[in-house]
Amino acid sequence: MAVESDRVHAILAVLAEPTRFRIIETLAIRPHTVGEVAAVLGALQPQTTKHLQALEAAGVVRIHRLGRRKLASLNRAVLDEVADWLGGLSTATPDDVALARYADAVAATEARISDEPGGHATVLRFRRTIPAPPAQVWEAWTDPRLLAQWWAPPHFEVERSQLDATPAGRVELRLREADGARYASAGTVSAAEPGRRLEFTLAPLGPDGEPLFDAVHELTLSGRTRCRLELTIRVADADAGIAPMIAGLEPGWTQLLDALAEVVARPA
């Protein structure tokens, strides 16, 4: 049976004491008598016995009483279980992967922008094949109820989402994070061909309500029973101050399109 979290905490607390950790390292080589452990530590035997008793109580050491001798050995099975538990903490989650990709993207974007003092144009292209007709995918983009189900990164709540798929139609997205922080983006539809093509601006808003940069999004849908989706995003005249936001577009839209595919695949 695997070690429970509380049990692991108790074991780690015992091992955190430097002398006990040295005992564990010593017993990892081979079993030792209590006297041998005391000699390695350069400590008195009564003190060593107390440390061994604490380790025994935690379950990581066994004391074998062989006549007049007391032999200490590691309970390696328990240490294996603790190692497995700790190993589970080191497994990267999708959020860890996304955050690492974002950090790399920020560094790359800042480097590109710094090489072009007058500003930098960024173009991102995404392609997906979704096992649903284009009309169904179009609905997920334009129906506010469906839009709210995918148009937010993980751990964000959509407070308002709107994409009015008509020329000069309003595009709006308002998100809230778990700590209460709110983020708003807005734009305008410039072209719309129902079920086929959509072009709109969308950019995060600053404290004054003005867009922080210009970003044009062009969406095209094609196919019959399977939708071929292409999304191109063009950001003009970006500067170093907004590099983190520009860098976030690629990992952000990757997550959004994953969520879009999941929403479209759900039974009606």
- Ordered by start, the domain boundaries in the chain are 5-89, 94-265
Look at residue 107 in the predicted model and tell me its pLDDT.
73
Look at residue 118 in the predicted model and tell me its pLDDT.
52
| CATH T-level topology, domain 5-89 | Arc Repressor Mutant, subunit A (1.10.10)
Q: How many CB atoms lie within 10 A of CB 74?
A: 19
Find the angle CA(77)-CA(75)-CA(30) to the nearest 5 degrees.
120
The predicted-structure confidence for 125-135, as pLDDT tens digits, reads as follows: 999 999 999 99
Answer yes or no: are the C-beta atoms of 38 and 45 closer than 8 Å.
yes
Answer yes or no: are the C-beta atoms of 48 and 40 closer than 8 Å.
no
Query: Bigger pLDDT: 239 or 266?
Result: 266
Q: What is the mean pLDDT of the chain?
A: 88
Average pLDDT over residues 229-250: 79
pLDDT bracket for residue 237 (50, 70, 90): low
Which residues make Cβ contacts (< 8 Å) with residue 144, sequence separation at least 6?
A: 161, 162, 163
Look at residue 154 in the predicted model and tell me its pLDDT.
82
Which residues make Cβ contacts (< 8 Å) with residue 255, sequence separation at least 6?
A: 98, 153, 154
Answer yes or no: are the C-beta atoms of 229 and 221 closer than 8 Å.
yes
- Can 5-89 and 94-265 be said to share one CATH topology? no
Query: Bigger pLDDT: 21 or 243?
Result: 21
Residue 111 has pLDDT above 70, yes or no: no
For the domain bounded by 94-265, which CATH number is listed? 3.30.530.20
The predicted-structure confidence for 145-157, as pLDDT tens digits, reads as follows: 999 999 998 888 9
Residue 89 has pLDDT above 70, yes or no: yes
